[in-house]
Amino acid sequence: MNIKFTIPVPEPIDVEIDRNWFTGSFTCKANGRQHEIKSPLALGTHFALATTHNYRVEIGEITKHLIEIEHSRPRFFGGLRPQRYIVKVDGSIVADRTGF
């Protein structure tokens, strides 16, 4: 899953959220600076009982923005079925996508 958007005010920030369905790596890039959300080396990346996970990333140099990501998957065969990603910036939804 790859989600791209721009935060325009006060300084433009290009944001790219990327999750690799095969390895489980989950990253957020803001103006080229990468923030790791979930590592493929962590055991919890591949084995988790919970179907919904919430992540927070703070980005920005001058003005800070809080990106909240809600990642949910189906209970049965969750890794093999489409998953839902809801992305919020400072409390406002900027993306709601379903896919791998």
> What does residue 60 show for φ and ψ, rounded to 5 degrees?
110, 145
User: Which residue is it, tokens 């590592």?
Assistant: 39
Per-residue pLDDT of 5-38, as tens digits, reads 999 988 899 999 999 988 889 999 999 999 999 9
- The residue extents of the domains of the chain are 2-99
CA–CA gap between residue 45 and residue 14 (Å, rounded): 26
pLDDT tens digits, one per residue of 42-90: 877 778 889 999 999 999 888 999 999 999 999 888 778 999 999 999 9
Fold of 2-99: Lipocalin (2.40.128)
